[in-house]
Amino acid sequence: MSNQSHSVPHFPPIRKLWKPAVAAGAGGTTLVIWFEEIIAFAADFIGVILLTIMGGLICLFDNIIFKSRIPRQDDLQDTSKGVKK
């Protein structure tokens, strides 16, 4: 009988594959979360840019459409011509 104790590997494939499994599992999840955050930030950033552009277009169309309602200089100068006394 020997007094030396030696450990018998019960599950050798698991001992060989635990590091790649942990790296792939945690790394894959981290990459997906980072990718999701980048997409969310880009969507917010694009929304702010489009909101600014749409606001500018609304102001531009407002000026173009309602410019005809602004009194002209001819309308303001001679107001007494058409009035009957």
Handedness of CA 44, 46, 52, 57 (dihedral sign): negative
CA distance readout (Å), 63 to 59, 70, 73: 6, 10, 18
Q: Quote the pTM value.
A: 0.45
Query: How crowded is the C-beta side of 67, counted as CA atoms within 13 Å?
Result: 7
Query: Residue-wise pLDDT tens for the chain (85 aa)?
Result: 556 666 655 666 667 766 666 666 666 777 788 889 999 999 999 999 999 999 999 999 988 888 777 777 777 776 666 555 5
3 found inside a domain: no
Q: How many folded domains does the chain comprise? A: 1
Question: Is residue 24 one of the residues assigned to a domain?
Answer: yes
56 within domain boundaries: yes
Domain assignment present for residue 80? The answer is no
Residue 27 forms part of a structural domain: yes
CA dist list (Å): 8 to 5, 15, 63: 9, 12, 85
Give a yes or no: residue 4 inside a domain: no
Q: Domain of residue 44: give its range.
A: 12-68
Taking a C-beta distance cutoff of 8 angstroms, is the pair 15, 9 a contact? yes
